[in-house]
Amino acid sequence: MSRSRDFHGQGAIVVVDYGMGNLRSVWQALVHVADGRQVIVSADPAVLAAAERVVFPGQGAMPDCMREIEVRGLRAAVLDAARNKPFLGICIGQQMLFEHSEEGNVPGLGVIDGDVRRFPAQRMFDAAGNRLKVPHMGWNEVWHNREHFLWRGIADGARFYFVHSYFVVPADAACVVGTTDHGIPFTSAVARDNIFAIQCHPEKSALAGLAMLANFVAWKP
């Protein structure tokens, strides 16, 4: 796995390393679709600043992820990337873009207005009345709320792989580009300007996930 010590980041696709996430699988999936472009994993703010585009993945609990971003001195670099270059948030990397999370009652980065909430236990039933599990884990459909370049070649209702107990609730419905149902309909993808962020794991989502990552590599917002 290529890391920042091998490359200074200029023109690269950089995966943010803050110690929380399956970085190898994200890196491998991006290398597969990058058409020879350099893909590196880095915890160096200078490398993020030099990157052509940035991928912000994550796994684990929101309080731990926010703490690691701060401890590693990456907050300013992530915020700058989210303002200025093609930026893909994945799973917790989506949730951290919002203002506040119920998980640990912690503030997020505040890039997108809105909150992160836990699936309500009293509503976790399918159409037949069977109780649904939380975490929401496994394959589920993502329905397109509107057109976006990252949906190119991906069927409306295509199935992606999810692992999460919390979901984002944007203040502005205009940024919602994907919706999924797990007991309740929830926002599974958001987009605004140069940012696209999705709750599922495209790196674990077979052909649909690879198509999304390929679209991100080619995206010129």
Q: Collapsing DSSP states into helix, strand and coil, what is residue 205?
A: coil
Q: Is 200 annotated in the active site?
A: no
For residue 134, how many other CB atoms are within 10 A of its CB? 16
Check if 182 is active-site: no
DSSP letters, 87-156, are: EEEETHHHHTTEEEETTTTEE---SEEEEEEEPPGGG-B-TTSPBPPSSEEEEEE-EESS--GGGTT--T
Round to whole Å and give the CA distance between 63 and 52: 29
Q: Indicate which residue of 136, 164, 182, 201 is catalytic.
A: 201
Give 72: exposed, middle or buried? Use CB within 10 Å, 0-12, 13-18, 19+.
Answer: middle
Peptide bond before residue 135 is cis, with ω within 30 degrees of 0: yes
Catalytic residue among 65, 91, 175, 200: 91
Whether residue 8 lies in the annotated active site: no
User: Which sequence positions are flagged as catalytic?
Assistant: 91, 201, 203
